Homo-oligomer: A and B are copies of this chain.
Amino acid sequence: MAEAGVGSGLTRRRFLRAVGRTSGAGAMLAAMGALDLAVSSDTPWPPFRQLSYADFRLSGRSAAKVVIVGGGVAGLACAYELGKAGYDCTVLEANHWAGGRNLTVRNGFELTELGGVKQRVGFTEGQYMNTGPGRIAQWMVTMDYCRELNIPLEVFSDVNHDAYVFNEKDGMQPGHPLRRRAVVADAYGYLSELLAKATDQGALDKRLTPEDREKLIEFLRQFGNIGRKRPGDPERSFVYDGGSARGYSRWPGATGDPGVRTEPKVAPLSQIITKEVGDIFEFVMDYKHATVMMQPIGGMDAIPRALAKAIGAQKIKLNSPVTGITDGPDRVSVRYRDNGGPERQIDADYCILTGSPQLLARLPHNLGPDVQKALNTYQMNEAGKIGLEYRRRWWEIEDRIYGGVTETDMDIRRIWYPSTGYHSERGILVGYYNTGDNAVTYGAMNHAAREARALAQGVKIHGPKYRTELARSFSIAWHRVPYLENGWQNIPDGPDAPVYAPLSRPSGSGRTYFAGDWLSHTVSWQHGAFLSARKTVTAIHQRSLAH
């Protein structure tokens, strides 16, 4: 099929529509590949369509051989999707598990970090810890994969008004945990008081119509639970002085027991208008978060495990780090250590490189200086977590916290309460989840020191039980995990910056592709890994059908 005669965009589109209508998606993809629509970086990539065996039957071609470097979510997703059309895929994974940073650890799991910290998980049977991704937004494509792969889901409580905010240094009630609901109520209350006062005094007459001024004050009375206007007394008008929204230290009960409101009644204004409180609102308003997030029941690694099962375990080579890549006109050759043993080589029609870009940049390859420069432009982020298994779920019984996150200004940064197994015997808290300098601090310690530091801080919020009820723990410093060396990437200038363009088209002489969350607009989320994989798979498939 020649390009002649289909020069203009309009004509191309008409032509493709006709092909699609008469011959199905496979033929259309083949035609698109022939028209070179997808491999040029200035045309939009074709939309993802499910691959199927029928694509090749219709085109009369046979599926190609693909080697995939890296068995994280992006690599597994590539093999899974290509497998639907019968591609002969091999996944080379350097570590001893499939899933990459989507790692759920259970009893017996072993990890030796770079730097030598070695741990063997000793959690009670049935207990687990998501060491990497822990939540999925409802809109993310990750949800579609969970549905397709029959992975049962439950709610991950991202925002729980009953969890605490704890500031050691300054901010709200230093050294005293406050319920998030009280902090939010105070913020709404003060903003409403100030804005109602200013509006009433005419400060916004230029911006607001008289009708809007009245509506605004009515709205603020409701939003912030503030007092009425006291005519002639601007000082005492619209005052916020707390309310039931802040919660109770003794909750309302039967007749005769109206409860006791949370004390002190209201945090001072200056403790509320802080960066710490701003962070709380910014987090829940981030489009990647929401009050309701989701998680697979039984552990996030249900996703890579289901993908691996669908791909076929024999196609995923664990403990097989790649040692070099040679891209050529007819094939691409990938060298690797087979299960930690002798070096072998796989020749394939295509190669997909996933994993940390900086580690790919360390491999001998012939993909050219533009690729090398792109890979080295990314910046690694440090991240760490500790899982603390407790003998009893005191946070539910005593603190009345069922899932959610306590935010702190200490270097543990936050505590995650488990959003699963409510009221069961044991449970695992995430005792720190931190990044950057804080993660470096913890990562540099041995495990016992990490645990000791995390406990000392948790005790400040939850008291001695935080130490005495502990059964065991496991910690991870993602920047020290072999073959990964980062929690996620910083992408200077964003993923669409020209420097990264060589990674979004076949590189070198054209048989090597890339995929990963770092080639998406949602870095650090599985969503990005999946969509990048879909994009790469689509490109390989149309090319494979066309040639």
Contact = CB atoms under 8 A, between A and B. Distances in A.
Given A146-B423, A223-B278, A496 B256 contact: yes
A277 B219 contact: yes
B181 A191 contact: no
A363 interface: no
Q: 7 closest pairs, A vs B, by CB?
A: A203-B203, A252-B521, A222-B278, A198-B198, A155-B155, A245-B285, A219-B273
A45 interface: yes
Contacts of A291: 157, 159-161, 291-292, 404
B531 A254 contact: yes
Interface in A110-162: 138-140, 143, 146-147, 152-155, 157, 159-162
12 contacts: A138-B160, A146-B423, A154-B155, A155-B419, A203-B204, A211-B270, A215-B274, A222-B275, A244-B286, A245-B287, A254-B534, A291-B291
Interface string A30-45: 0000000000000011
Contacts of A225: 285
A423 B521 contact: no
Interface stretch (A91-99, A315-323, A394-402, A436-444): A394-402
A223 B279 CA distance: 8
Nearest to A504: B255
A137 B147 CA distance: 29
A254 B528 contact: yes
A272 B220 CA distance: 11
Interface string A509-524: 0000000000111100
A212 B269 contact: yes
A255 B287 contact: no
A101 interface: no
A290 interface: yes
Contact of A157 (B155, B220, B257): B155
A277 B188 CA distance: 14
A521 B160 CA distance: 23
B286 A245 contact: yes
Interface string A281-300: 11011110011101000000
Interface string A412-452: 00000001001100000000000000000000000000000
Contacts of A100: none
Contacts of A223: 187, 191, 278, 281-282
A495 interface: yes
Given A198-B195, A500-B255, A162 B521 contact: no
Nearest to A143: B400
Interface in A348-370: none
A70 interface: no
Given A160-B292, A251-B527, A292-B404, 13 more contacts: A147-B423, A153-B402, A153-B423, A181-B287, A181-B290, A194-B195, A194-B208, A211-B270, A215-B274, A222-B275, A223-B282, A255-B519, A292-B403
Contacts of A277: 219
Nearest to A234: B206
Interface in A363-402: 397, 400-402
A44 B500 CA distance: 72
Q: Name the residue in A157, A162, A194, A277 with the highest tally of chain B Cβ atoms < 10 Å from its Cβ.
A: A194
B522 A252 contact: yes
A282 B224 CA distance: 8
Interface in A202-218: 203-204, 207-208, 211-212, 215-216, 218
A270 to B, nearest CB: 6
Contacts of A146: 423
Interface in A245-266: 245-248, 251-259
A269 B212 CA distance: 8
A152 B423 CA distance: 8
Interface in A78-118: none
Contacts of A528: 253-254
A532 B256 CA distance: 10
A139 B262 CA distance: 13
A532 B257 CA distance: 10
Interface in A170-185: 181, 184-185
A197 interface: yes
